[in-house]
Structure 1
């Protein structure tokens, strides 16, 4: 019987593979003629890392005003096409930059100040669901249209304290709960590599903007891949920090008192060198728990890898994704003293069910939250309304409502399986080892196709369920010119190992690749 099941499953995968190709073909017939192109990058300053910009401001090779103005100009070029940034504070940002320049010129800012403010004078952005004083905070909900935040989320306050200058807030899916960025208030965000393609979610506006060089760095949040999905689709670095190290106050409805939650804050950047200093700023007084100042000898790191979790809910992996992982393994095998080793964990095939169980334990009520916590919506009523006369919610939100009617995952099984999988992983991952893991079955596809392949984010969400830190690493472009990438996973509190491997892969494969020509003309 098991042999029959095996062959039936193989037939199912073959059928699904060609169904996926058919989906792409049909959506391509509609979207390909609608493709737009963003302007080339004329100012080389936009290609600098946040760390380099801070250094050049410190050494007076650049002024903060010049840097801030350059990114504002770039936003004005690309945003009408991409729809990444949804609210801005450009005039206030320029005013802050001028004040910093003045203080540097008059000597009111010393070397000590620069040490305490590692991103002094450098602009940054954050997602619209993260409170930023005076800026839009609708969460993509019609009932919150026009709502402005009256305070800064803790993570925003931390980056400002480190000298960062906030430019604005970026687009999100409704209540952050989808793998594509679109909502009824601000519309759809487009991918700078190909505007007919998905940017991911929920931090999709942020990654789209960073990839297009509209911002040097941004703050993301992650409950099921919300940093790493868009980082993968837009070809930038994104890191999910070890849980419970960053206060969550100001993230959607989060109070900051949450303890056992999958939600994490993390950085989004074009270059790996920005990851560690950005994380240090975000975790603040908890930085010592990550031992970020300890040097990492990459050659001594033991590298493990998983080629395919064999999750039946996901689309079959395409060859270019397997090839990307193989190239990373080969590259690291030449750098590390120990030969990389492939691992197989049978329980990874349950990654979809495990995340579904743990998301059900989050201290939120989705039906109440999408109604701005003014009482639970009637799911059946909203579903019928959406597919007949329309309503205030997206089709993705309808999917989440429908999903609530599926049979719940058995709690005893889920807890036992999670613990067993975590124990098996921790028997391999320690303070000197990492795991390379696939990101997705294929690169970013056409807008809205995620509705037909809703579980293709499973390779991201499993690490939320397990509470492991992960870095999404860009690995060049596909044959279609879309970003490729892999995930680098470490044991809790070993985030620095992710950064070290990310740096080596960046050195070997080029890391971030601009979506357009870079020219100083």
Structure 2
């Protein structure tokens, strides 16, 4: 029974890959691909002669870019050209951006400048460029999800997050890399290859929004949007030294982020909604001010996603520092897939302790807290079981669609409505406990993972899916499974639905960035961002990686 429970905890991470293989017969495709680390696919980069080299532009925040465009200090064309130049110069070594729409971006930038000259502004992001994870559908621009059979898929519609950014005046530059179907750890796939950490090219960017984080860190984009089912926004933010927000559950519409591009192949695909209790979409940036700018743009109800909720995003006046109530955790106890989860690396512990000491020196009330092993073990088991169960329910509907299209029936996963109801009830209990735990605090601080970014693992693919989850890495001389090192802390808040901001907090002695999770009360995302900004201004440490200025 114990073994079954351990397997269930990781089953949720691989079930997506199983479902993906049900969708399409991929045997002929994968027979042609045998390289473990394929050469990244090239893109049509703009000619150097047509690019304005403006490295002073690309490391501005999105808020600063928007302000300068509104004031006439910069044109949208200058800003877009500067980012295209940055991609052209540095993407070959980092491999963060996998599809570039230079022509479309420049055309829209010209229109933005023409509108500005006529006294018209499209919105708060007028003329500001952005990229998105290749998980999101983009109209007339290929959307692969890092999965071979979708390599040439071109969606007919934008996802809601892309549409809302465009409505706010932003300009789409391109798409960023991800592991196949947002599964597993790290960012590599058989279409585009591996993304490298800009702080150390021999290290991982994390996943699954790894291309997003690397593009932000290197000035290839000021705005990104990621998805997070078990840390996929927070881990890359931590590993690459940027900011990321996993919002409260259902705050941002999920439409167009299921299996992008598949709506063109299977029209009813977008009607299906998997893991609806665990996946959260959120912005990634180089400043908290940009997270505050983007959240009201991205959040809100959507007729295409019945789960998307309508909660006003209102930023309160900051509290006096002495009236803040901050809790912090050195680590999270218990076990995950049979290994202990409380062995934080000495380097990460040092950064967290320094962060807390700076807050204490500023007279901010802090209280060191704990969560019980029993609670954490239950939460991790419920997370893994709920992921697998929701994909079990998803499978029969998907199989009926596939059979109607291909005439090829497949076996249906066994599932139980009673078991599903039990898991949801168990989740409710865990949420209630966390609500009570957080009730008297403005924020909770804790590590993101057990360590800073580890060295690249040898990429292993099984049927096109990345299969490194059970590999070991070394932390302070001890072998630790990747799943334990990276997932055992973030997944709690996917289960409970609490908003979490990752802020850069410091660096290891070897120069790798370390982030901290700042957790807020459910549905109080705006309040959380205000508090996180206060804490960051006192104790945070954001820097650009060296050697990425032209």
Would the TM-score normalized by the shorter structure come out above 0.5?
A: yes
1-side partners of 2:423 and 2:400: how far apart?
A: 30
Number of the residue aligned with 1:455: 484
Q: How many residues align?
A: 445
The residue matched to 1:473 in structure 2 has which SS? strand
Q: Please state if 1:443 is matched with 2:452.
A: yes
Give 2:511's match in structure 1, choosing from 463, 474, 481.
Answer: 481
Number of the residue aligned with 1:6: none
The residue matched to 2:517 in structure 1 has which SS? strand
The residue matched to 1:136 in structure 2 has which SS? coil
Instruction: Report deviation, 1:322.
Output: 1.6
Number of the residue aligned with 2:294: 278
Q: Which runs of 5+ in 1 are unaligned?
A: 1-30, 32-40, 376-403
The residue matched to 1:238 in structure 2 has which SS? strand
Instruction: Report deviation, 1:141.
Output: 2.1
Instruction: Report deviation, 1:369.
Output: 11
The residue matched to 1:209 in structure 2 has which SS? helix
Instruction: Report deviation, 1:331.
Output: 2.6
Give 2:237's match in structure 1, choosing from 231, 234, 237.
Answer: 231
Instruction: Report deviation, 1:499.
Output: 1.3
Q: Report if the CA contact (8 A) 2:316-2:530 is conserved.
A: no
More displaced 10-residue stretch of structure 1: 334-343 or 312-321: 334-343
Q: Deviations over 1:444-468 (max 9, x none)?
A: 1011275412232121111101111
Q: 1:89 to 1:291 in 2, by over 3 A?
A: closer
**For residues 123-138 of structure 1, what are the structure 2 equivalents within 5 Å?**
123-138=129-144
Q: Please state if 1:122 is matched with 2:133.
A: no
Instruction: Report deviation, 1:365.
Output: 7.2
Q: Please state if 1:328 is matched with 2:355.
A: yes
**For residues 205-354 of structure 1, what are the structure 2 equivalents within 5 Å?**
205-253=211-259, 255=270, 258=273, 260-284=276-300, 289-297=311-319, 299=321, 300-313=323-336, 316-335=343-362, 338-346=365-373, 347-354=375-382
2-side partners of 1:494 and 1:336: how far apart?
A: 24
Q: Please state if 1:78 is matched with 2:100.
A: no
Q: Report if the CA contact (8 A) 1:45-1:70 is conserved.
A: yes
Q: 1:290 to 1:322 in 2, by over 3 A?
A: farther
More displaced 10-residue stretch of structure 1: 123-132 or 509-518: 509-518
Q: Please state if 1:56 is matched with 2:68.
A: yes
Give 2:188's match in structure 1, choosing from 182, 202, 208.
Answer: 182
2-side partners of 1:294 and 1:422: how far apart?
A: 25
Instruction: Report deviation, 1:136.
Output: 2.0
Number of the residue aligned with 1:386: none
Q: Report if the CA contact (8 A) 2:125-2:170 is conserved.
A: yes
**For residues 501-520 of structure 1, what are the structure 2 equivalents within 5 Å?**
501-517=531-547
2-side partners of 1:121 and 1:444: how far apart?
A: 34
Q: Report if the CA contact (8 A) 1:72-1:214 is conserved.
A: yes
Give 1:47's match in structure 2, choosing from 37, 52, 59.
Answer: 59
Instruction: Report deviation, 1:311.
Output: 3.2
Q: Deviations over 1:376-435 (max 9, x none)?
A: xxxxxxxxxxxxxxxxxxxxxxxxxxxx99xxxx87885565444322321232486211
Instruction: Report deviation, 1:338.
Output: 3.2
**For residues 23-38 of structure 1, what are the structure 2 equivalents within 5 Å?**
none
The residue matched to 2:293 in structure 1 has which SS? helix
The residue matched to 1:462 in structure 2 has which SS? helix
Q: Report if the CA contact (8 A) 1:474-1:486 is conserved.
A: yes
Q: Report if the CA contact (8 A) 2:218-2:548 is conserved.
A: no
2-side partners of 1:469 and 1:269: how far apart?
A: 16
Number of the residue aligned with 2:528: 498
1-side partners of 2:396 and 2:58: how far apart?
A: 42
Q: Report if the CA contact (8 A) 2:250-2:309 is conserved.
A: no
The residue matched to 1:361 in structure 2 has which SS? helix
Instruction: Report deviation, 1:492.
Output: 0.9
Q: Report if the CA contact (8 A) 1:239-1:267 is conserved.
A: yes
The residue matched to 1:168 in structure 2 has which SS? strand
Q: 1:256 to 1:474 in 2, by over 3 A?
A: farther
Q: Please state if 1:106 is matched with 2:118.
A: yes
1-side partners of 2:397 and 2:234: how far apart?
A: 24
The residue matched to 1:486 in structure 2 has which SS? strand
Q: Report if the CA contact (8 A) 2:147-2:181 is conserved.
A: yes
Instruction: Report deviation, 1:68.
Output: 0.7
Give 1:141's match in structure 2, choosing from 141, 147, 164.
Answer: 147
1-side partners of 2:441 and 2:395: how far apart?
A: 43
Q: Which runs of 5+ in 2 are unaligned?
A: 1-36, 38-52, 260-268, 302-307, 404-412, 458-467, 472-480
Instruction: Report deviation, 1:485.
Output: 1.0
Instruction: Report deviation, 1:350.
Output: 4.2
